[in-house]
Structure 1
């Protein structure tokens, strides 16, 4: 596709996206408590290609959790991030120079409520985000805030068992109200949960489930998701009563699936698998459970208590927009794969990076189109990017591969807008290098800005503009006409 003559709308949000647990550091500063992100140890023997096929990322039992907390020898990169907590003014200034008019970041739950179940918030944590939000706004950027991005206060796991416990509805709703009360006059766009659908990969960091605290993991995963659905609705209900300009969105990690062949079995199987992913947006955006999921629960003996009160709450408080991350597509073979979301087949027509992530811009066009046809809700591309082990020499990174990846994906976003789709934001992941969510590597880099730190946190921490920095700067300044 080639739409270099097409100009994106003047109000379009060109931005970047980050997460507190991957940039901030300062894990034990100003009253912050430990969270699930703080016990992700760097694996020195990491096999990048095989890692993608692991069913579970960094899961824990009570024993391994305790061991990680007590460990004084291992390196836990997310405790240190890239130093944003101390360098946020410098980093936001770089984002301003880049030309961003929006910036997505998350608030660390355990910085506001160190244990998660307190009645009163930590004032020093609130004051830090006051400074960050004001700095973002003063730099001419729209703040887009994620309330929870893979960093549950550990106390909520050990004491309550994570989101499968309905008590967490109370705790997170309280947390959300504090954020909306404090920052709602300055922040319009809010995402309660990051990538809410990745439960089979992220039971620990997304749902807070310890493996020895469940007798039926799958059932507890869906119970936890039901509680998160209710939290979304309660947050939306409160936001409506507080300030009419606030918008609350659901966020998915896109799981675009292609059938391996044109055999009807492959086509129907791919449809069923992708419909299982749509479920996580169906409930918050349409306000009810789809019939195919109720059938799935029944046939697999999964018991979810959905009360009439729950149904009314969900129906009356549907969310305002759909945000999703897109990195790569997936392929399915009905003979080799199962309904387990972790099982996929290789696509021989696509190239991939060192982590096995395929490069497929048309997959983004397909995803945007399918979501729009299904929901007719405004769409935010909340993450998109290309992880690569950049070569840094004499303060320079020549990352033409990243430029090419992003160029092709921006082109298809433009094509979707020309189709009439309301895509209102494009937020490449990690505009400044940060710690990888899945592998805890610093060397898996996405940014337009290079951070001089290695996988063990060694380096100066200084920031350097990559070639892609100057390219994206021109893209934004031209409203997408110069790619």
Structure 2
């Protein structure tokens, strides 16, 4: 069969995990940090687990959450801010090579439009990155991961306002200047294409405050494109060895059937998902997107100087998050990315996320064929309701099976030529859920003893998957089998 999988995976491959500051750090008012959008996401007991109530917000809901008497889990996270050494030590015990994490924008610029940065916030990341280096864990840093200063929503209308470009660039330049000798890999904006699901978390838009919601979303994304190019330009001039990346959430779909209408809708839908990486990797707005905007009465303000900026400052690598796959049916679905049909051949978890390992092989192969830039899996995992036994064990064969199948699929893409340099599971230890603010939706290899209301000892318990993933890392992905002695 030719070369083995082992010989195809880089010897310096980065096996690790990924977290976000807003889901892990907590300490929401510590050391002069300001309030962020994540801090007003409530936990709603008994809510439909498939209802992502925080994604598309209007003013009434915003005020209800901001001033309501809810429990806000992301304000305490899993106490990573105070306990980061314990978490890093546990990851080092698992032999991880990398941890993808984010910097809290409101910890560095509490209001977003501050004249200068918060030195206490910067000092925290000094300590964190220094300790990671001591433990030989390579940081991969996301500059903006779903937590913008709340003031930027209230005073400026979020990313719809061009002023956000300058505020974000100032923040990005500040952290690059501070950490460029410690951090090599940078992802500027988390899942920049997932605006249809994260219009508030990513863009800070209150939908009743704009006349044309879809146009406002794409204009806001354009401002993120421009800011990304400016930060990429700054990073490359500051330190040519820096790797400045962009990130997609894989939302590519499959046609529900071979009915020509299903095939055509699927093609059109997927092309509009490539749009974001086409701009940031190829450096220009593609004709199909301009046609889509014309057909949907979307008129964007794009200057010639911004076009030139995008052309000259493209991303060095592509980061991809992959969780599930869906299909589209012309008789039921539209071009709206939220409009999909479940694949009847796939099983799903209780949150409605279908399991399809071959989809990781397909998407990474498609992105490689299209762009030929280095890639990383920035997130991959599935939430489960774990059971902690009386002897403090978690027997999570279901998690091991999920990652076995997905890593095998990734290895096949690598075997066929895809240049992949990292695989980061979401998340290596249990953290607060992004979509539902639950703690009981667990992804980690390390059980963290907090519940949905923040109660618990905070103790760590290594799940069966912890020992399995350590084995995968030590073998550089060659040994995916479960050791029955674990």
> TM-score if structure 1 supplies the norm length?
0.97
Deviation at 1:245, TM superposition (A): 0.8
1:342 and 2:343 equivalent?
no
Distance across 2 between alignment mates of 1:256 and 1:69: 34
Of the three residues 174, 188, 200, the one matched with 1:178 is 174
Deviation at 1:267, TM superposition (A): 1.2
1:188 and 2:184 equivalent?
yes
Secondary structure of 1:324's counterpart equals strand
Match of 1:44 in 2: 45
Distance across 2 between alignment mates of 1:308 and 1:5: 46
1:19 and 2:20 equivalent?
yes
Listed one character per residue, the Cα deviations across residues 378-420 of structure 1 (whole Å, up to 9, x for unaligned) are 1110000021000111311000000000011111111111111
Matches within 5 A, 1:19-418: 19-48=20-49, 50-51=50-51, 57-71=54-68, 73-393=69-389, 394-418=391-415
Checking the alignment, whether the CA contact within 8 Å between 2:431 and 2:442 is kept in structure 1 is yes
Listed one character per residue, the Cα deviations across residues 267-301 of structure 1 (whole Å, up to 9, x for unaligned) are 12111111111001100000000111100111111
Distance across 2 between alignment mates of 1:377 and 1:264: 32
Deviation at 1:318, TM superposition (A): 0.6
Listed one character per residue, the Cα deviations across residues 93-143 of structure 1 (whole Å, up to 9, x for unaligned) are 111111111110000000000000012000000000001111111110111
1:436 and 2:438 equivalent?
no
RMSD between aligned residues: 1.4
1:466 and 2:467 equivalent?
no
Checking the alignment, whether the CA contact within 8 Å between 2:24 and 2:80 is kept in structure 1 is yes
Distance across 1 between alignment mates of 2:461 and 2:145: 26
Distance across 1 between alignment mates of 2:438 and 2:122: 29
Deviation at 1:5, TM superposition (A): 6.2
Change (3 A) 1:188 1:58: same
Match of 1:451 in 2: 448
Distance across 2 between alignment mates of 1:122 and 1:230: 25
Distance across 1 between alignment mates of 2:160 and 2:360: 32
Match of 1:427 in 2: 424
Distance across 1 between alignment mates of 2:25 and 2:399: 24
Secondary structure of 1:104's counterpart equals strand
Change (3 A) 1:18 1:401: same
> Which moves more between the two structures, 105-114 or 38-47?
38-47
Distance across 2 between alignment mates of 1:113 and 1:68: 23
Distance across 1 between alignment mates of 2:172 and 2:362: 33
Deviation at 1:334, TM superposition (A): 1.1
Deviation at 1:348, TM superposition (A): 1.2
> TM-score if structure 2 supplies the norm length?
0.96
Distance across 1 between alignment mates of 2:212 and 2:294: 15
Distance across 1 between alignment mates of 2:237 and 2:4: 43
Secondary structure of 2:31's counterpart equals coil
Deviation at 1:4, TM superposition (A): 8.5
Deviation at 1:164, TM superposition (A): 0.8
Deviation at 1:68, TM superposition (A): 2.8
Residues matched between the structures, number = 477
Distance across 2 between alignment mates of 1:463 and 1:409: 26
Deviation at 1:203, TM superposition (A): 1.2
Listed one character per residue, the Cα deviations across residues 405-437 of structure 1 (whole Å, up to 9, x for unaligned) are 001111111111111110111000110100000
Distance across 1 between alignment mates of 2:96 and 2:224: 31
Listed one character per residue, the Cα deviations across residues 423-459 of structure 1 (whole Å, up to 9, x for unaligned) are 1110001101000000101010000000101111111
Checking the alignment, whether the CA contact within 8 Å between 2:5 and 2:412 is kept in structure 1 is no
Gaps of 5+ in 1: none
Checking the alignment, whether the CA contact within 8 Å between 2:41 and 2:54 is kept in structure 1 is no
Match of 1:6 in 2: 6
Gaps of 5+ in 2: 481-486
Deviation at 1:356, TM superposition (A): 1.1
Checking the alignment, whether the CA contact within 8 Å between 2:5 and 2:411 is kept in structure 1 is no
Secondary structure of 1:276's counterpart equals helix
Deviation at 1:74, TM superposition (A): 1.2
Secondary structure of 2:318's counterpart equals strand
> Which moves more between the two structures, 171-180 or 344-353?
344-353
Checking the alignment, whether the CA contact within 8 Å between 1:396 and 1:464 is kept in structure 2 is yes
Distance across 2 between alignment mates of 1:262 and 1:38: 45
Distance across 2 between alignment mates of 1:213 and 1:332: 31
Listed one character per residue, the Cα deviations across residues 145-190 of structure 1 (whole Å, up to 9, x for unaligned) are 0001000100001000000100000000000000000001110111
